[in-house]
Amino acid sequence: MKPTMIGLVKAERKAGAVLMELPVPEIGPDEVRIRVKASSICGTDMHIYHWDQWAEENVVTPNVFGHEFAGIVDGVGSAVAGIRPGDSVSAEGHIVCGVCRQCRSGNAHVCPHTRSFGISAPGCFADYAVTKAVNVVPNDPALPFELACLQDPLGNAVHAVLSGDIVGRSVAVVGCGPIGLMAIQVAKAAGAGRIIAVDLHDYRLDMAGRLGADHVVKPTGDARLSRTLRELTGGEGVEVGLEMSGSASAINELLEAVANGGRVSLLGIPSREVPIDLARHIIFKGLQVYGITGRRMYRTWHQIKGLLDAGRIDLKPLVDRTFTLDRYEEAFALMGSGQCAKIVFMHA
């Protein structure tokens, strides 16, 4: 009889998830099996859990979801070298082909043949996860699992912040969920000028202030966010806009607020198509617009390690709640409320 494990499965193409008993995944020659010790909920997981248009178009079912994790190597394939059982590790979530033009020119994070951990390949909301050995990232054994599992989203923040010049520039972080909060710390560590945090939730704005934002803004129905951002920058507009919310209105307000010649990094995933005025907001303003997906492989991971090792980033304040996997409904409800930063599942 094959050994089994517990996993959180997106079993049907509708809202919700199911905790199921599943076979422990077997290991291929070039793969590594990891005993998951901690995993965390991402904004992408919220899209999957609530099943919006983006999820309908991108997610494979049935499938264990979740892609942010840390754990201990349980077994390695016959062709794997340099990774041993007992190693403390995390993993890059993009499983790429390695041979296309993008992979061979330093842009593997946008490989057109990508399979995504927890989206189109089995993920980490389970007792065990299997991934390619080339995707495994070693962790300092002293780094607690509940912090080590946050390196994936920290990589999103690093990628977004450092996709262009940041030193001395005014920055607006629109959407202060966990990655937005991380982006504030990264921008500050990288020498940004004035940092403005924008969110609808007082809880997250309070945390944004504690993590280094110079101004916090809670949009209201009467006041245009773009006008507020321009007022806070002497009428010039922000030089760097980091869009982390995926809100259609927030995207358009940020594009309106960014100064001519500025830069925008778009990371938030809209739940549906977003109409924008290309001529007014991008072309005639001369904006640089970057789509941020995942992390640069593996440059961003090395930047993450450097920031953590130097003590420039503190992940501890972000983990304000932990749950066991069987309490997933409570965890996802809390995540949706905005009254938290990062929610972590602690595994046995």
Q: What pLDDT is attached to residue 320? A: 85
- 156-291 has the same fold as 4-150+315-346: no
- Alpha-carbon Rg for the chain, nearest whole angstrom, is 20
The fraction of the chain above a pLDDT of 70, given in percent, is 100
Q: pLDDT (tens digit, 9 = 90+) per residue, 319-338? A: 989 999 999 999 999 999 98
Say which of 4, 44, 131, 215 is annotated catalytic.
Answer: 44
> Residue 274: its pLDDT value, please?
95
Q: Catalytic: 47?
A: yes
What's the mean per-residue pLDDT of the chain? 96
Residue 174, classified by CB atoms within 10 Å of its CB into exposed (0-12), middle (13-18) or buried (19+), is buried
Residue 88 parent element (H or E): strand 88-91
Judging by DSSP bridges, how do beta strands 128-132 and 136-138 pair with one another? unpaired
Q: CA 272: distance to chain centroid? A: 19
Q: Which CATH number is 4-150+315-346's, of 3.90.180.10, 3.30.300.30, 1.10.150.170, 3.40.50.410?
A: 3.90.180.10
Q: What is the pLDDT of residues 101-154, one digit of tens each?
A: 999 999 999 999 999 999 999 999 999 999 999 999 999 999 999 999 999 999
Residue 33 token pair: 């099996």
For 294-307, what is each residue's pLDDT tens digit?
Answer: 999 999 999 999 99
CB 242 within 8 A of CB 265: yes
Task: Out of 47, 94, 159, 281, pick the active-site residue.
Answer: 47
In the chain, domain spans: 4-150+315-346, 156-291
Q: What's the average model confidence in pLDDT over 43-56?
A: 95
Position 57 pLDDT exceeds 80? yes
Q: Give the model's pLDDT for residue 221.
A: 75
Q: What is the mean pLDDT of residues 339-343?
A: 93
**Rounded-to-integer distance, Cα 201 and Cα 338, Å:** 6
Residues 76-94 have pLDDT tens digits of 999 999 999 999 999 999 9
What is residue 259's predicted lDDT score, i.e. its pLDDT? Answer: 98
Please say if 215 is a catalytic residue.
no
Which homologous superfamily is 156-291 in? NAD(P)-binding Rossmann-like Domain (3.40.50.720)
pLDDT digit string, tens, across residues 235-266 = 999 999 999 999 999 999 999 999 999 999 99
